[in-house]
Amino acid sequence: MSGCVVHRDSGDDPRPVAHNGDITFLWSLGGRTCAEASEVRWIHVTLAGARGVEQLENDGYFGCTLDGWDGIKLTDFASGTYNYTVDAIDASDRVIYTASGTLSVNGHVSVPVTLNPLITTGSLEVSWSFGAQRPSCAQAGITSEAGVSDVRVTIDSTSYDLPCSYGGGQSAIFDDLAPGTHHVTIEGYIGGLDRLWYRGLGSITIAAGGSYQLPLGLDPVAAGATFVPVMSDGATPFNCAATGSNTLHIQLFDARGNCFPEDPLSPGGCGFNGSCEAFATAGFFFNYIPAGDDYDPAAKAWTAGWTAVIKAWGRDATDIKYESSAGSVLIVAGLENQRKPVLMFAK
């Protein structure tokens, strides 16, 4: 029997040749992009292979977005298996998203990574101002004593009553908000929580682990106004003596038929009356009238139609000499003293 032994050159080795390569991580943050996850300050990458933990540039800390894409390219790694961890870190150095796994290098490799939130809720800072002319609480007329609540923040159906200059500023932070869209209403009050003067509305979508800001400008939703009785021609002042009137009585009705103001001397009653001579010239002044039925985008103001009912009495309330028409008087929010003539007709 005869035979031979064939010696193969190393270049003829049938085993596959392993290749070094680059590792490219492409990440998302709970399904969001870096632009959408503004709470993320850094991404920290850790790689461990057969030789232990790899020394990465900048100790593995990178910006969330590099060269216009959410990820990082790490170059020239020996072939083999690596364990990796990718953490997203916020401005307080907290890890708020993380992902880990195993990858193999045999040439260049691309690894898509979805980082999962470690925090299951989000936080929201809401702030309020009152327009360019009245940015601060004091300029808006909200000057309550310390500890008095005059701003109400409602997130969905939960309300929080706060001082307007809360924490020395005009903002408040709300933690532990569930992911999703939240609707926010901020209301400003002057003279108690039954006198609404300002309102702002907004909404925002929150993701787990995110910190968000929602600034709202509050528009006036109330006004001051004076209702002045005049004769039916619209020009002649109401003449008490000529009409035999001793007393004037006023009631205001909104679009739903609610009467304003309540009569402090008659529980459950509504309206106000006084001397004809005093009020015929000066009119009835109200320093607070709600005006929140309709919003005019062009005027950037809330308005409301009020029906002003003025009656001129002779001897008493049963002796009506003159009475106003049933027309609607438009009140524009934010104006402190609108002078509104009310036409009076003989009964």
Query: Domains of the chain, with CATH numbers?
Result: 17-117 (2.60.40.10), 122-220 (2.60.40.1120), 222-346 (2.60.40)
Quick check: 313 pLDDT over 50? yes
Note if the pTM is more than 0.85: no
Let me know if 154 is exposed, middle or buried by CB neighbors in 10 A (0-12, 13-18, 19+): middle
pLDDT confidence band for 39 (50 / 70 / 90): confident
State the number of CA atoms in the 13 A half-sphere of 337 facing the CB. Answer: 5
Quick check: 203 pLDDT over 90? yes
| Average pLDDT over the chain, rounded to an integer | 88
Higher pLDDT, residue 75 or 194? 75
pLDDT in tens, 242-284: 999 999 999 998 888 888 777 655 556 788 889 999 999 999 9
How would you list the strands of the sheet with 151-155, edge to edge? 158-162, 151-155, 180-189, 196-206, 219-220
Quick check: 184 pLDDT over 90? yes
pLDDT in tens, 207-244: 887 889 999 999 888 889 999 999 999 889 999 999 99
Q: Write the CB contacts of 321 (distance below 8 Å, at least 6 apart in sequence).
A: 243, 244, 245, 312, 313, 314, 346, 347
Cis ω before 261 (30° cut-off from 0): yes
Q: Which residue from 299, 312, 322, 323 is spatially nearest to 331, judged by alpha carbons?
A: 299
Give the per-residue pLDDT at 111. 98
**What residue spans of 154-287 are helical by DSSP H?**
240-243, 276-282
pLDDT confidence band for 172 (50 / 70 / 90): very high
Quick check: 1 pLDDT over 60? no
Mean pLDDT, residues 13-38: 87
Q: Write the CB contacts of 173 (distance below 8 Å, at least 6 apart in sequence).
A: 123, 124, 125
Higher pLDDT, residue 202 or 325? 202
Give the per-residue pLDDT at 135. 81
pLDDT in tens, 147-162: 678 999 999 999 999 9
Residue at 300: amino acid letter: K
Give the per-residue pLDDT at 65. 96
Quick check: 44 pLDDT over 80? yes
